[in-house]
Structure formats: C-alpha cells, structure tokens
Amino acid sequence: MAYTVVFYESEDCDKPVEEFLDSLNKTQKGKAIRLIEILESLGHNMPFPYSSQIQGKLRELRTQLGKEKIRLLYYAASDRAYVILHGFNKRTAKTPEDAIRIALNRMEDHEERLRRTK
C-alpha cells in the first residue's frame, strides 16, 4: 500500500521543508528523499532507526551522513496524509525544543486549515 506524503506549506505559500531540502548537498538531499520514499511505502509501519516518536503525534525521520544528522519532523494528518513539517540538521543528542515548537505550530496550522475546508 502506498501512503501520501506532503510537505507543509504555510497559508502564505511558504514552503520551508522544500527550502530545507534544497539547502542540502546532493548526497544529503538524496538520503532525505530516500527516507520520504520509505515513509510513502511503509507508512505507520516504518521502523526505528528510520523513524522515531518525538511527542504525541509528532515523529521524526532520521538519517545520518558522517557526523551530519538530518531530521525531518512529521505527523499523520487527519486527512490520512503524512505531513513533513520541519527539517533541520541535528547537532546535539536531544532534539532541540525550538525545532519541536516549530513543528507543533505547523501541525496545528495544518490541522486548522483542514478543519476549515470540511
């Protein structure tokens, strides 16, 4: 079964996840895109170490290239799509609180706009 994966887009049409992916070098971007393809293929069955829980519905896609840890925060939206909310290079053992806050704010925004369209 194939799952739908979309990138978060703000109401003002900002595309922060696409901008993050475009900022990566070719190898890093390739690894990140491969993770997204695995999510499309496996959905909620995606195992650790590719995916892990962060907080509530918020999860992270995980990859590493040398010392660079690339993370993509995502969740399963109420419209049955996986929404990639935020991407960043992780430099510490713990996921930064500001990255979690950004992702949670974007998740709330995405869900609110879904409710308005129903």
Tell me what pLDDT residue 5 has.
96
Domains of the chain: 4-117 (3.30.2310.20)
Tell me what pLDDT residue 1 has.
63
Tell me what pLDDT residue 86 has.
98
Q: From residue 72, how far is each of 56, 97, 118 by CA, in Å?
A: 16, 14, 28
**Phi, psi angle pair for 92, to nearest 5°:** -125, 170
CB 77 within 8 A of CB 84: no
Tell me what pLDDT residue 44 has.
87
Tell me what pLDDT residue 23 has.
96
Tell me what pLDDT residue 51 has.
95
Tell me what pLDDT residue 7 has.
97
HSE value, Cβ hemisphere, 13 Å, CA-based, for 74: 27
Tell me what pLDDT residue 66 has.
84
* Mean pLDDT, the chain cut into blocks of 10 residues (118 residues total): 90 96 95 95 90 95 91 91 96 93 97 86
